[in-house]
Amino acid sequence: MDQILKLVEENQLWVLIGLVLFSLLLLVLSLVQSIKIGKWKKKYYKMMGGKNHQVIENLLLEHNENLAQALGNLEEILESQRKLDEKLVDCVQKMGVVRYNAFNDMGSDLSYSIAMLDEKNNGVIMSGIYGRDYCNTYAKPITNGESDYKLTAEEILAIDRAKKNTIYA
């Protein structure tokens, strides 16, 4: 320790110059850091909308209100979707169509049978029979894919297509 003090006393000028240079270096580094922090502060205040901490609180409160409102809207939408899903069970979801020539003396497949069924295979089958001098339309109810009325081969085919959800084969 004595040797260090003796060395410092002999070279006081150089030690003093070194300390001054070191102090200047620290001052420059401090200024550079202050400038960088100032830039960051400007960006931060710009992002937060001001220097007041109340702004951040207001932003968070507004965000929480918006979130609560969005969750309430989501609940309404989910309830509405649930009601629609319940109604869709009874809507026409499956169709099957068969076109055919009801009479040998006719030239084209002008007669038809259309089966329209819901999810539970309930619905109706409609048949239009086209003749040379007339056109008749018939409707028969379908329950669980079956009818209490006698079905033609074309009507059975239309119901099978509807069950398979292939409109035309």
Residue whose entry in the numeric block shows the structure tokens 């069924």: 117
8 Å CB contact between 115 and 155: yes
Per-residue pLDDT tens digits for 56-89: 778 788 999 999 999 999 999 999 999 998 888 8
Copy the structure tokens of residue 14.
Answer: 């150089």
pLDDT-derived band of residue 52, with 50, 70 and 90 as boundaries? low
Q: Cβ distance 162 to 117 under 8 Å? A: yes
- Any domain includes 26: yes
pLDDT digits (tens, 9 = 90+) for 93-142: 999 999 998 887 767 888 999 999 998 999 999 999 988 888 899 999 99
CA distance 59 to 63: 6
* Integer Cα distance of 134 and 110 in angstroms: 12
- The CB-side HSE value for 156 (13 A sphere, CA atoms) comes to 6
Task: Give the helix/strand (H/E) hosting 93.
Answer: none
Length of the chain: 169
Percent of the chain with pLDDT over 70: 91
6 within domain boundaries: no
Averaged pLDDT for residues 17-28: 90
Domain interval for residue 42: 12-86
- Among residues 65, 86, 107, the one where a domain terminates is 86
pLDDT value, residue 169: 57
Query: pTM, whole model, 2 decimals?
Result: 0.56
Q: Is residue 146 part of a domain?
A: yes
- Count of C-beta atoms within a 10 Å radius of residue 140: 18
